[in-house]
Amino acid sequence: MISATGAAAEEGQLEESGANERWWGWATPSPAPPIADDVRRAIRERLGFGADWVEDPVPPERATIAPSRVAIPRALAELLSDDPRDRALHTYGQSYRDLVRSLRGSFETAPDLVARPRTESDVERLLAWCSEERLAAIPFGGGTSVVGGVEPRVEGDYRGVVTIDLSRLARVRAVDRESLAACIEAGATGPKLEQQLRAHGLTLRFYPQSFERSTLGGWLATRAAGHFATFQQHIDELVESITAVTPAGLWQSRRLPGSGAGPSPDRWLLGSEGTLGVITHAWLRVRPRPRYRARASVAFGDLHAAASAVRSLLRAELEPANLRALDADEAYVTGALDERRALLVIGLESAVEQQEGELEQILDVCRASGGEIVDRGAQSGSAEGVWRSAFTAAPYLRDLLVRAGVLCETFETAITWERFGEFVERVRQTTRRAVEEVCGAGLVSCRITHFYPDGCAPYFTVLAPARQGDELRQWDEIKVAASEAILAAGGTITHHHAVGRDHREWYRRQRPVPFATALAAAKASIDPAGIMNPGALL
């Protein structure tokens, strides 16, 4: 396996590391530590290619950041910053395009100011000022968007851009033990909210791969998906009520376990990507911390055989908390298997009962579907354990890969089972062709991250040799080819990465026209000055 220094610990035990010293990428400080020769050799060996150069991020003092166009008003002075480094760190998310541009110190689209509200009334004051002064307002959680969701790429006659960073709103405000729910502020990152819930013996158990840095507000605004692969995949399922500050006033739903009273106000905010208002807090369903776990890995001939085994599991009403089906390339590149075979990673958990019996039933179904049990249990060096470490270390490893000249990006979608086989091959082949044409070589691997009774979410990773200085064009060409293939074959442009600015064109073609008209009308009535994250989603 290619390992990254600073790799995060097991899910749920992650602490935020170095967020303050970070200058570039996921966790790279300035000056960046050198990349050892043996790491570069390992990259070349696993991938079959590698660049003969390594690039260090341009340090803050040499970065290009346009001067701020907006003066800080005295009444809001304690909430606003025009510090160039602060503005640079709020310019981008974490897509490959973002990493390349920030690596080169290019922050031409930096926000003019960064705001850090401490209360809902601070958010109200900020939005009122932005509306009056015609300033675009971009809510910012952890800045882990991979679709241009937080980048101030704003067209129109705005006088400037204010990025609203929610990091000071990060408390668990209340816990209702009777209903098993918690009121959590939007700026809480995964580790921050889990740390506070742990004091009550509770957990949200929502683990996107970006858990360490992404926030509750970001999860709600993008309809993020966590590690639960078979049941409560999206954050949507955990929501009791959401509160947001909009330019038209406070949007607060009632706390209810369910309601049939018309369209759901929460569903309007879920996936709104900062275009309607700033989500400030929400009531979420929480659960007792799991005490029992069981794990196993099963090898299959290919991804389709693994997917077919999962279909059999679901039909037998076996729904493990975690399931990831990796194709042969992904199992090999992550080091989970030493030969090229597909791998199904299985994880069960419960707060109330041992999981060994259910695991046994699951393994019986896998065997009957042609699977070979590779290991079970959490022993070190197991395929499941190696894959899990690679999964949590991936954002750190990505910093190394990008600096070492590897084009490294992912995209994801969803499709119903009856089209699954043809769909995956079509998207994979089209993307592979584009990678070969644009980069000359490279890998396109696929894993399935979420499973439904009627379909699943295929997730693709592209690793290819980058041409220094030409990376953005290289990725843009591959991305267009992949996105066109997804849409043509009937998939969605995103299962959980959201629309942002980068997927807008394909989202526009995917959604029904009357729905688009309704969305635009809703936005115009709630945000008449059009200040909320212009250019994202709509």
Ligand X SMILES: Cc1cc2nc3c(=O)[nH]c(=O)nc-3n(C[C@H](O)[C@H](O)[C@H](O)COP(=O)(O)OP(=O)(O)OC[C@H]3O[C@@H](n4cnc5c(N)ncnc54)[C@H](O)[C@@H]3O)c2cc1C
Instruction: Provide the binding-site residues for ligand X, judged by CB under 6 A.
Output: 93-94, 138-146, 149-150, 166, 186, 208-210, 214-215, 217-219, 221-222, 224-225, 273-274, 278-279, 395, 496-498, 533, 536
The alpha-carbon radius of gyration of the chain (Å, integer) is 23
Shortest Å, Cβ 360 to ligand X? 29
Give the integer Cα–Cα distance in Å for 152 and 536: 10
Residue 139 assigned as binding residue: yes
> How far is 421 from 461, CA to CA, in rounded Å?
18
Cβ burial of 148 (10 Å; 0-12, 13-18, 19+) is buried
Using DSSP bridges, classify how beta strands 113-115 and 160-165 pair: parallel, antiparallel or unpaired. parallel
Which is nearer to ligand X, 371 or 395 (by Cβ)? 395
Find out whether 68 is annotated in a ligand binding site: no
Rank residues 237 and 338 by Cβ distance to ligand X and give the closer one: 237
376 vs 503, beta carbon nearer ligand X: 503
* In the complex, residue closest to ligand X by CB: 218
Task: Give min distance, CB of 338 to ligand X, in A.
Answer: 25
In degrees rounded to 5, what are phi and psi of residue 57? -60, 140
Shortest distance, CB of residue 459 to ligand X, whole angstroms? 9
Residues contacting 521, CB < 8 A, separation 6+: none
CB of 2 to ligand X, least distance (A): 16
* Residue closer to ligand X, measured from CB, 384 or 399: 399
By beta-carbon proximity to ligand X, the closer residue of 344 and 536 is 536
The answer to whether 199 and 295 are in contact (CB under 8 A) is no
Q: Which two tokens stand for residue 373?
A: 């049990």
Confirm if 296 and 303 have CB atoms less than 8 A apart.
no
Residue 189 CB, nearest approach to ligand X (Å): 7
Q: Is 158 a catalytic residue?
A: no
Report which DSSP code applies to 532. B
C-beta of residue 162 within 8 angstroms of C-beta of residue 112: yes
Partner residues linked to 139 by β-bridges:
164
298 is in an annotated binding site: no
Query: How many other CB atoms are there within 10 angstroms of residue 67's CB atom?
Result: 9
Confirm or deny that 365 is annotated as ligand binding. Answer: no
Q: Are strands 372-376 and 292-300 parallel, antiparallel or unpaired?
A: antiparallel
Identity of the residue, 209 or 308, whose beta carbon is nearer to ligand X in the bound complex: 209
Contact 477, 438 (CB under 8 A): yes
Is 144 assigned to a binding site?
yes
Q: Is 422 annotated as a binding residue?
A: no
Measured distance CA(323)–CA(365) in Å, rounded: 14
The Cα–Cα gap between 372 and 363 comes to 9
Q: How far is the CB of 247 from ligand X (least distance, A)?
A: 13
Q: Smallest distance, Å, CB 346 to ligand X?
A: 18
Catalytic residue, from 96, 158, 332, 459: name it: 459
Cis before 31? omega within 30: yes
Check the annotation: does 262 bind a ligand. Answer: no
Would you give the DSSP letter of residue 237?
G
The answer to whether the CB of 65 falls within 8 A of the CB of 88 is yes
Q: Which residue, 150 or 464, has its beta carbon nearer to ligand X?
A: 150
The answer to whether the annotation marks 22 as part of a ligand binding site is no
Residues in binding site for FAD = 139-145, 273-279
The residues carrying an active-site annotation are 459
Residues in binding site for substrate = 398
